[in-house]
Amino acid sequence: MKRLSVAALAFPLLFSFSSAQEIIKLKKVKVYEELLPEEIVGESKEVTEEEIKTTRQIDIGEILSNIFPEINHIRKGGTANDIVLRGFGRENINVLIDGMRIYGACPNRMDPPIFHMSTPQVKEVYILEGPFDVSNQGSLAGLVNLISKDPEKGFFGTVGLTGGFFDYLSGNLQFNYGTDRIKFLIGYNKQFSHPYKSGEGKKITEYPKGLSAYKPSEINHTAFNIDSAWLSAVFNLTEEHEIKIRYGFDEAKDVLYPYLKMDAVYDRTHRINVKYLLKPFNVSVNGYWNFVKHDMQDRWRVSSNMWSFRGYMMRTLAKTETYGGKIEKKLNIYGIRFKSGISGYVRNWKANNKLMNLDNKGMIPDVDIKNIGIYIQGAKKVGKNTISAGIRYDNTKSEANKNYLGTANKNLYNLYYDSNYSLSKTDSYITGNILFRYNFSKRNSIYMGFGHTVRVPDPEERYIALAKPMTKPNWVGNPNLKKVKNNEFDAGFEYYWDLFGVKGNIFYSDLTDYIYLTKIQNGAPKPALSYQNIDAHIYGGDINAVGMLTDTVSIEFGAAYQRGKKDSGKYKDSDLAEIPPLKTRLALKYDNGSLYIIAEEIYAARQSNVDADLNEQPTKSYFVTNIKAGYTIKNRASINIGIDNLFDKNYYTHLSYLRDPFRAGIKVPEPGRFFYMNVRFMF
């Protein structure tokens, strides 16, 4: 076992369990005058490859939710869980892959950005909380960056196998070859499962009712079947020049989403990322492209029986393509560490829908988002104080193709907005932040900061157009939406003594023109679900503590709470919807260097602060107990076993439902008792 020393605890940004070789994982940072600006801008955390290996490895969103109380997952089915950070979700946080912008194609986020990378590809996940990112446009309230593995020098490979309840199987194979000049890493991963059962012994496919119910023959249909392949190459042309090339492909088939009215027949993703490093000048040039094609239908639901001649009653075929790049330089002027850059991207999204006999071609009407921005960020240590600040300017154009609309939905904008709208909008804006940190000692500090961030409405919020049959409300975007502004104050502390430590932070986010669901009619024959700008605020905080009780036993505790309130608009209930309740995590760990055992308890309080205007329902509190153990043999092989939800509780997270218009009208329970085992060999 690696024994921690006082020196090892200097300036950690995160304590977290790593593996049988490390009881406490510390982020590798140096003294503040040597830090890069992005490493000191408020509350940052990371999850490592070793932590991911000790889970059942189904879904990154769920893994993050189990580790950090301030992150919650949106349960839609057996996989593809979207995430909410500090009460902010969807487009209000940036989720990137190796710094690359990637977007799902499904209008109901069946395939959120975090779904487009399989767990064996991940080296670490970097999380930045708050409005302190100027390197990427639109980081309104946080950043999550999935960082993939780089190939290493040498020739070796790894094999990983995981099996568990509900016929869950996962296997991956990776090969690495590298010299001083050229390095390659190639990998493949397969995941498969049938529907899991809840704590009351029912398959999740048994919960939808009525027309959204699964056909009796499909109750045990494949829950997901996912193939992933990836290639990473590094070329060191000279000691001063380096090129990194990454390619990834994912195909998810037969993915069931009980909380929706449709399921994914397939979701295919291609992504390419190329980065050139000019080391003597501290310059990096990055370019990327990705493409997602998504087909969702109700072919396995009762609703499709009425349209058996074509196999479905409703279907959406969607595509999204994103390409962009960034040029960045780091420099040191008079002791101030700077990074500056220019970035840009183009995002295209189109979706066509058939609903009964309605042709909703252009449900997402071939929308382009074009952005270009410049930024600079710097940090300097002055005595015991560290000051960092950043500023960014963006120009973003959003434009829908009115000629792409189908026969059913082409008049929806006119119907609800009386021709008082435009399908093209350009937004220009400045964002920035400043943060002060006072260091009592090399290990203990307090900080406070302020950030102003902006995000532009996404294509769905401004331009979606879906005509629905009979008296059911249509779904139409609001082309007149304004950009969202966040003025946020953050403060926090870090304090360590001997082998114990605690860190915490609080925040208050004042939101102007926050985008929120609403219902409109404006003289039309029937109402439509749409979006409006309101003023609101979200506040909260989290605390994390860790300590070594003995040489082999450690304890961790974390808790997070957030609350959201409306400040403007027509409402009877001032509570914001989709805000998670208080959540805590307590873990006790034993590790002797080869053998580890973990027992953890996750608690979520009852959420009664719900938005009655949107018919949001309260959620009961729950306790869940998880245990896991593992053994490592000379760093060449390892075996891990675990039981999640040991006592087979039947419970729901607060985000286990989807607000209108496509929700199935149910809450999706979490998995019941789930036993799993994974093994890993290096050769």
Q: What is the rounded CA–CA span in Å between residue 571 and residue 577?
A: 12
Domain-embedded: residue 2: no
Give the pLDDT confidence score for residue 555 in this predicted structure: 95
- 332 with 302: CB under 8 angstroms? no
Does position 7 have pLDDT exceeding 80, yes or no?
no
Mean local confidence (pLDDT), 106-113: 93
Place of tokens 């076992």: 1
What mean pLDDT, rounded, does the chain reach? 89
Give the pLDDT confidence score for residue 607 in this predicted structure: 95
Q: Specify which residues 542 forms β-bridges with.
A: 505, 560
Give the pLDDT confidence score for residue 46 in this predicted structure: 63
DSSP 8-state class, residue 109: -
Domain range for 393 is 7-682
Give the pLDDT confidence score for residue 53 in this predicted structure: 62
- 575 with 562: CB under 8 angstroms? no
Q: Count of CB atoms within 10 A of residue 418's CB?
A: 11
Give the pLDDT confidence score for residue 18 in this predicted structure: 30
Kindly indicate the confidence band of residue 459, based on its pLDDT and cuts at 50, 70 and 90: very high
Q: What is the pLDDT of residues 186-209, one digit of tens each?
A: 999 999 999 999 999 999 999 999
Give the pLDDT confidence score for residue 237 in this predicted structure: 82
Give the pLDDT confidence score for residue 661 in this predicted structure: 54
Give the pLDDT confidence score for residue 64 in this predicted structure: 92
Does position 15 have pLDDT exceeding 50, yes or no?
no
Kindly indicate the confidence band of residue 297, based on its pLDDT and cuts at 50, 70 and 90: very high
State the pTM of this model. Answer: 0.90
What is the DSSP code string of 435-447?
EEEEESSSS-EEE
Q: What is the pLDDT of residues 544-569, one digit of tens each?
A: 999 999 999 999 999 999 999 999 97
Give the pLDDT confidence score for residue 52 in this predicted structure: 65
Cα angle, residue 32 at apex, residues 28 and 35 outer, rounded to 5°: 60
Does position 496 have pLDDT exceeding 50, yes or no?
yes
State the Rg of the chain over Cα: 25
Give the pLDDT confidence score for residue 306 in this predicted structure: 87
- 511 with 455: CB under 8 angstroms? no
Q: Specify which residues 568 forms β-bridges with.
A: none
Mean local confidence (pLDDT), 343-357: 96
Kindly indicate the confidence band of residue 17, based on its pLDDT and cuts at 50, 70 and 90: very low
Give the pLDDT confidence score for residue 635 in this predicted structure: 79
Q: Count of CB atoms within 10 A of residue 376's CB?
A: 17
| Amino acid at position 152, single letter | E
Mean local confidence (pLDDT), 485-489: 98
Q: What is the rounded CA–CA span in Å between residue 679 and residue 683?
A: 13
Domain-embedded: residue 17: yes
Percent of the chain with pLDDT over 90: 79
**Closest of 491, 580, 609 to residue 83, by C-alpha:** 580
Q: What is the rounded CA–CA span in Å between residue 94 and residue 640?
A: 32
Q: Out of 3-12, 228-237, 505-514, 574-583, which region has the weakest mean confidence (pLDDT)?
A: 3-12
Does position 517 have pLDDT exceeding 80, yes or no?
yes
Q: What is the rounded CA–CA span in Å between residue 315 and residue 334?
A: 60
- 85 with 142: CB under 8 angstroms? yes
Q: What is the pLDDT of residues 262-293, one digit of tens each?
A: 999 999 999 999 999 999 999 999 999 999 99
Place of tokens 């969702």: 296
Give the pLDDT confidence score for residue 352 in this predicted structure: 96
**Closest of 204, 109, 167, 329 to residue 675, by C-alpha:** 167
Q: What is the pLDDT of residues 623-635, one digit of tens each?
A: 999 999 999 988 7
C-alpha to C-alpha distances, 189 to 114, 229, 230, 249, 438, nearest whole angstrom: 16, 6, 9, 10, 46
Q: Compare 395 and 306 and report the one with higher pLDDT.
A: 395
C-alpha 306, offset from chain centre: 37
Domain-embedded: residue 463: yes
Give the pLDDT confidence score for residue 44 in this predicted structure: 65
Give the pLDDT confidence score for residue 34 in this predicted structure: 37
Does position 415 have pLDDT exceeding 60, yes or no?
yes
Name the helix (H) or strand (E) containing 96: strand 94-97
**Closest of 608, 562, 564 to residue 582, by C-alpha:** 562
Which CATH number fits the domain that encloses residue 622?
A: 2.40.170.20
Kindly indicate the confidence band of residue 249, based on its pLDDT and cuts at 50, 70 and 90: very high
Does position 658 have pLDDT exceeding 80, yes or no?
no
Domains held by the chain: number: 1
Domain-embedded: residue 394: yes
**C-beta contacts of 28-35 below 8 A and 24+ residues apart:** 31/442, 32/379, 32/381, 32/386, 32/437, 32/439, 33/335, 33/381, 35/337, 35/379
3-class DSSP state of 612? helix
| Amino acid at position 229, single letter | A
Domain-embedded: residue 1: no
Give the pLDDT confidence score for residue 41 in this predicted structure: 56
Domain-embedded: residue 536: yes
Does position 51 have pLDDT exceeding 80, yes or no?
no
Q: What is the pLDDT of residues 118-170, one digit of tens each?
A: 999 999 889 999 999 999 999 999 999 999 999 999 999 999 999 999 999 99
Mean local confidence (pLDDT), 590-608: 94
What is the DSSP code string of 142-154?
EEEEEEEPPP-SE
Q: Specify which residues 234 forms β-bridges with.
A: 183, 244
Q: What is the rounded CA–CA span in Å between residue 360 and residue 368?
A: 19
Mean local confidence (pLDDT), 523-552: 94
Q: What would the two tokens of residue 265 be?
A: 């027949």
Q: Specify which residues 122 forms β-bridges with.
A: 148
- 554 with 26: CB under 8 angstroms? no
